[in-house]
C-alpha cells in the first residue's frame, strides 16, 4: 500500500507541477504553447517510464525469475490514485490566478481528466517494468559469462 501511495503522490506531483508550468507558459509565452504541451507530456510519461524501469530492474536483480511482485496491480492502484489526486489538484489550481489549466469542472477532472492521467502513468510504467526486467536479465547473463 505504501509503495503504490508513494508512486501515486509522486507522479501526481509531477503532473501538477507540469500542468502549472504549462499554464504559466500559455499565459506569458504564447509562442511556446505547442512545444510546452509536448514537453510536459514527455515529462510525465518519462518519469513514469523511468520509475517502472527501476522497479523491474530492481525486482529481477533481487529475486530473479521467482519474483512474486505484482507490478500490474501496484501500478494500477498508483495510477488511479495519482489520476484522482492530480484531477482534484488541477481543479483547485484552476481557481488560483496565473495557473489557468483550462477551466474544466470537477466532474470532468475526476472522470475524463483522471482517466487520461491514469493512462499516462500506467502504460509507460508497465512498459518500463518489462524493459527493466530485460535489462537486468542481460546484466546477469553478462556477469555469468564474464566472471571477474
Average pLDDT rounded to a whole number, residues 117-131: 95
Contact 129, 55 (CB under 8 A): yes
Better-predicted residue by pLDDT, 147 or 66: 66
Q: Which pLDDT score, from 0 to 100, does residue 98 have?
A: 67
Q: Which pLDDT score, from 0 to 100, does residue 100 have?
A: 66
What's the pTM? 0.86
Around Cβ 109, how many Cβ atoms within 10 Å? 23
Contact 109, 87 (CB under 8 A): yes
Tens digit of each residue's pLDDT (9 = 90 or more) over 49-90:
999 999 999 998 888 877 777 899 999 999 999 999 988 988
Read off the C-alpha cell for 92: 483547485
Tens digit of each residue's pLDDT (9 = 90 or more) over 15-41:
888 888 888 888 888 888 899 899 999
Through-space distance between the first and last CA atoms of the chain, rounded to whole angstroms: 40
Question: What are the b/e assignments for 120-140, b being 16+ CB within 10 Å?
Answer: bbbbbbbbbbebbbeebbeee
Q: Which pLDDT score, from 0 to 100, does residue 131 have?
A: 95
Amino acid at each position: 500500500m505504501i509503495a503504490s501511495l508513494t508512486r501515486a503522490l509522486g507522479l501526481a506531483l509531477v503532473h501538477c507541477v507540469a500542468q502549472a508550468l504549462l499554464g504559466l507558459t500559455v499565459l506569458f509565452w504564447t509562442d511556446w504553447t505547442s512545444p510546452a504541451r509536448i514537453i510536459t507530456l514527455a515529462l510525465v510519461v518519462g518519469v513514469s517510464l523511468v520509475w517502472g524501469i527501476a522497479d523491474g530492474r530492481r525486482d529481477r536483480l533481487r529475486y530473479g525469475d521467482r519474483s512474486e511482485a505484482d507490478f500490474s496491480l501496484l501500478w494500477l492502484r498508483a495510477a488511479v490514485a495519482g489520476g484522482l489526486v492530480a484531477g482534484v489538484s488541477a481543479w483547485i489550481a484552476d481557481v488560483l490566478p496565473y495557473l489557468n489549466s483550462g477551466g474544466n469542472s470537477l466532474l470532468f477532472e475526476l472522470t475524463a481528466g483522471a482517466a487520461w492521467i491514469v493512462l499516462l502513468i500506467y502504460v509507460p510504467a508497465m512498459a518500463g517494468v518489462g524493459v527493466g526486467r530485460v535489462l537486468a536479465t542481460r546484466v546477469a547473463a553478462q556477469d555469468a559469462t564474464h566472471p571477474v
